[in-house]
Structures are given as structure tokens and as C-alpha cells.
A and B are shown apart, each in its own frame.
Chain A
Amino acid sequence: MMTASPNFFTSTDQTAEHFYAQMLLIRHTEQQFLQLFAQGKLNGTVHTCIGQEASAVAVVNALDLQRDVIFSNHRAHGHFLAYCGDVEGLLAEVLGREGGVCGGIGGTQHLYTRNFYTNGIQGGIAPCAVGAALAEKMQGSGAIATVFLGDGTMGQGVVYESMNIAALWGVPILFVLEDNGIAQTTPKQQEHAGDLTTRAQTFGIQTFTADSFDPLALHATAVAAVGMVRQQQCPAFLAVSCYRLGPHSKGDDTRSAEEIAMIEQRDPLRHLELQLDPQQLRQIQQAVEERVRLAVEQVLERPLVATNTTGLTIGRGEE
């Protein structure tokens, strides 16, 4: 019987309870972002992964978090929290408060901690991740790299250059396609010819497919893909079918109410809730709400990041 200790956020148990707790933590944190924006306390923007949390949690938990390298994109909060659980570091970063993981310079799209890197340019992280994986292979660390891409990003040529090199040179990298079927407001069918899940196969890259509706099954597939990449020192492609419940960013959802209602039926959190004991469920929900509420309170009390931040001056000459 698990207890409602905050430890379950960082537990390595691959259980429904653990996954549900992490997914709910991501959901609550991102809902806080949207509220804080509406209250005028969040400068700029955020891209939430509300509805897609299972992909982040299931795939990240398949990795060796002590050594593996992760590259993520503009929609990275879920990957970040599944990787390190640092709610305060993320909140402070996005809110421009002291203690943000990148000193408030990076913000929502440009996060870094340990072996976790994100950037806001679509596709550009793919070759970076290949290079990182190659570095780990050359150094004999046993680590692999994982790169998270969206279906919209599959329009970028550099993604295919990266697949070509990764397959050609035997680079240990897992390409994860999080296919939510929509790029900002444009449906996949208006952007892509053919089938996205077969594109890596032409490079001889083994392709795995899974649906985020069942996080435990997705996790099992991710474990198989990660194992193959690590053991065979070659790339793999994991296509995850998922659903974006929220807007691309904030107020830019042009989908119909019927479509959103249909997507809500595919919410993986609901799917897991049905598998959990009601008492456990309440414990987890209370613990997550408390965790996020306290984090928001605490971070909002911190001072704004000072303007003499050192990261802005590195390597800069006489200007």
C-alpha cells in the first residue's frame, strides 16, 4: 500500500500510481501556468502539454535518468517534470523569479538541467541530439540520447538528415514523435503527405508505435525501444499517438467543442483513474494539489531575477 508521501513523484516504480502522480503533477503545474498568465503574473507565453502527459511520463521513465540525455522542444514542461520533478525550478524560470533553472533567461522554451536540454526552434534539436548521442558513444558512457519531436516538426528537413546520419553511423538515439495530430492550428492532414510512422523505416530505423491513452502499455513499448537503442547502439523511432487537450499556446484553439469533447474521452489521466483504488486516488490528488499550491506560493514570494545576470555576458566581447 503506497503512502501519500511526496516521494512518489520521484519513485522509480513503474506503476499506475507513480505514473498517475507524475502526470497529475504536470497537469496541475501547467494549469497553474495558464491561471498565472490570466492573472497577469506570467510574462510571455507557455505551450502546455495538457492531454499529452502520458507520453512524457511513460517515455522518460523508460530512460536511465542518471546518464541518458534528453532534448526536448517548445512543449517541454512535461518532459522536464518527468525528468527531474523540479516544480519550483520550472515555475521560477517561467515567472522570472529567483531560482529558475536558467536564471529567467530561457523561460518556458529554453530549459536546462543536468542532461536535459530544450530549444524553441522546430527540428534544430534533432542533429544536436544525434551529436550528443555520438559523444556518449565515443566516450563509452553507455548513455543514449532521446529527442522529442512533434508531428508539425516532421516537415523540417534537418530531422531526416539526422535520421540518415544516426542510422548510417550507428548512433544510439531514440527519436520520439509525439503525434497530436495538429501543428498550432493546422491539422496534420493539411501538412503531411503519407504516413509519419513509416518515415524512419526508409533509413532502416526500427519503428515502434504506441498510444498515450494507455500509459503502462506505452511505457512497455518505450522500454523495448530504449533497450534496443542501448544494446544495439543504433537509432529507433517511437511514434506516440496522443491528444492535445489544450490550445497550442493560450487562446489560440480553433477546434470545435465537439472535437475537444471527443479528445477529452481520450484523456489518459481518466484512463488511469479507473485503474486506481479510490482512496489511493484521493491521496495522490491531495498530495499533488498541495505540492503545486505550495510551490506557486513559495515561488511568487521570491524576488524577481536581478538584471545583472551573468549568463548574458559570457563570451561577449567589447560591445
Chain B
Amino acid sequence: MSQMLTNVESLRGALHNAMADDSAVVVFGEDILDPYGGAFKVTKGLSTAFPQRVFTTPICEGSIVGMANGLALRGMRPVAELMFGDFITLAADQLINHAAKFPAMYNGRVTLPLVVRTPMGGGRGYGPTHSQSLERMFCGVPHLSVVAPSIFHDAGKSLRAAIASAQPVVFIENKLLYPLRQQLHSTATLQHEFLDAEAEYPTVRLRNFGAGNSPDVTLITNGGISRFLPSLLQRLSDEEIRLEALIPASLSPLPPIAPFAAAAANSGRVVIAEEGTTSNGWGAEFAARLYESCMGKLACPIVRVGALPTVIPAAKQLEDEVLVSETTILNAILKVFS
């Protein structure tokens, strides 16, 4: 009954199963040992079950990922946890100049099966350096994958795919998704399917309308933004606006653009929503790809929604002002619909 699992339960189960299935899997991170089990409890129980292969580390994100690189080059399958996604900047050299370089610059003669898991996103009042969504800074780095499951993905399955991959993966978890139950099937009011179920990291298609109808608007989004969708799709349904949401789990490289372009051409109206800031971001890249394929087929310009281009404040009312909300996305949809 995987659809009953919360996001954190799904991830935790995947880590347990991956370690049980393959003795090459090793897990590292700060404060991940039991009884604490990690700041967000994804690794809870792991060090009790696999004491020889779960390591609590000093505070040194660069070396955590660097060690994982060395382990991966020498036949292990390391899964490194960075306690907060904001700290990934300290590991940027290891991700960009080491993990993403070794296999390609050695002409494909080595593999580097690395997973770096880290929670991104705001909404918990942690302030400017513990709330960001920095994944866009690693999108577009050749030979580095960035994966972010939504609440409509089986997060554990995505994590298993990342661990099984021969390539380095930055695996983004969203803090606000952790306690939410995954929604992996259609309901009376919400059609759930995968665009490409056989893909390593599939794209979810959600619709608030039944077969035989065309969408009015296409929403492309990922990760933590998915928490708004059940309510948002219901509100749009009440307004008799048919919304098709496309939610890729692979942020970089982007999945093949053709089905997205077909969906965009079908509705003629596209909104792209992301948790972080929009400049030079994931949504900008997606919009550029769509324009390359959809020139002349859209009824109006693509609208992007993201956080305000500033720091994320600690005070709740200020944080709410900066971050994307259901209302911001709703307003963007109403804007392209009018």
C-alpha cells in the first residue's frame, strides 16, 4: 500500500531496502545516527539496522561529498545526506569539478554511482540560509542529474532509481512534503497518470477533468509546489477551468520536451511554477525549450511563478510574502486564462 505512505516513510523504506539488497550501499551525513536519526528523520533506524555502513560525519559538506566520490569510484554506492539544501554550496566543487567530471573526462572508463540527498524549500520559518531551493544552481551541469520527486511520485522508487544509477545524482527532497501522504492514484476529482511510466524518473500528469476534454491551461511544476495541487485543481474545477499539470521528477537534464510541447500546444496557455527564484532558473530553461518547439502555437506568453528575488525571511508573514503560494499560482493561471 505504497500510496498510504508519507513521503518520509517512502524515502526511509527505500534506504533500508537499498542497504539490505546491496552491501555496497553506504550512507553518510551529519547527525544521522540513532536515536536522533537525522534532522528530518529520513535515516531513522538505519544505523541500528546497518551499523557498519552508516556513518555520522563531522560538519564538512565538501568532504562528505568528496569521500562519497572516492567510495563511488572504488565500487561502493554512497548515499550522502546534506542536512539542509542550503549547505550544498559547500559541496559545489565536489559535485561540479569531481563527480560530474570523473566519468566523462576519463573517457567513460570509470562510473560514479553517487547520490547526494538534501532537503530544500521554505515555509518552516528557518530564515535566509535554511530555507532556499538552490537546485537550479546544479541544473544544466553536464553529467550531473538533478532529481526532485513530487507528492504525486513514489519518492522511494525515485530514490532507488538514483541509487541504482551509474551517474551522480543530486536528489532533492522538500521539507514540507516529508509528512504528507503520497498520492499515486486517481481520485474522483483528480486524474493521475505517468507521461512516461517506464522512464528512470517519470513525469506525472494530473488533470481535474475527464477524458474527451481538452485542457484550458497547462501547469508545469516540480517538487514541493505539488503540495498545492490537490486544493488548486479543486478550486479551478469549481471555476470550470480545466487544468493539466505536468510534474517531471528529472529537473536536469530535462525530460524529452515533445510531450510537454504537445500539451502546451493543446491548451495554448502555459504557467511554470517553481519554489525558488525564477531568474536563470529551471522554469526559464523549460520556457526556452517550449518556445523552441511551440512558436506560433501558444495563445499567450508563458508565465513563470517563483519566489521573490530576495532572501527568505524568518518571520512567518514576511516569509509568506516572498514564497510561492497556492494563490500566486492561481492568479497566474487566471491571468493566462483571461
Contacts and interface: CB of A to CB of B under 8 A. Distances in A.
Contacts of A317: 145, 250, 252-255
A127 interface: yes
Nearest to B60: A161
Nearest to A106: B105
A131 B256 contact: no
Contact of B107 (A71, A124, A157, A310): A310
Interface of A: 69, 71, 102-103, 105-106, 110, 112, 117, 119, 121, 124-136, 138-139, 145, 157-158, 161-162, 164-165, 168-169, 309-312, 314-319
Q: What class of interface size applies to chain B in its complex with A?
A: 35 or more
Contact of B70 (A121, A131, A164, A316): A131
A9 B298 CA distance: 68
B71 A127 contact: no
A126 B105 contact: no
15 contacts: A124-B94, A128-B66, A128-B70, A131-B66, A134-B67, A135-B74, A145-B70, A158-B62, A162-B66, A165-B58, A311-B108, A314-B143, A315-B166, A315-B167, A318-B254
B253 A318 contact: yes
A130 B106 contact: no
B220 interface: no
B26 A129 contact: no
Most chain A CB atoms below 10 A, which of B53, B62, B72, B166: B62
B257 to A, nearest CB: 7
A315 B145 contact: yes
A110 B70 contact: no
Nearest to A158: B62
Interface in B238-254: 250, 252-254
A65 B112 CA distance: 22
Most chain A CB atoms below 10 A, which of B72, B101, B254, B256: B101
A113 B218 CA distance: 50
A129 B109 contact: no
Interface string B44-85: 000000001101011010111111111111111010000000
B67 A127 contact: yes
B105 A102 contact: yes
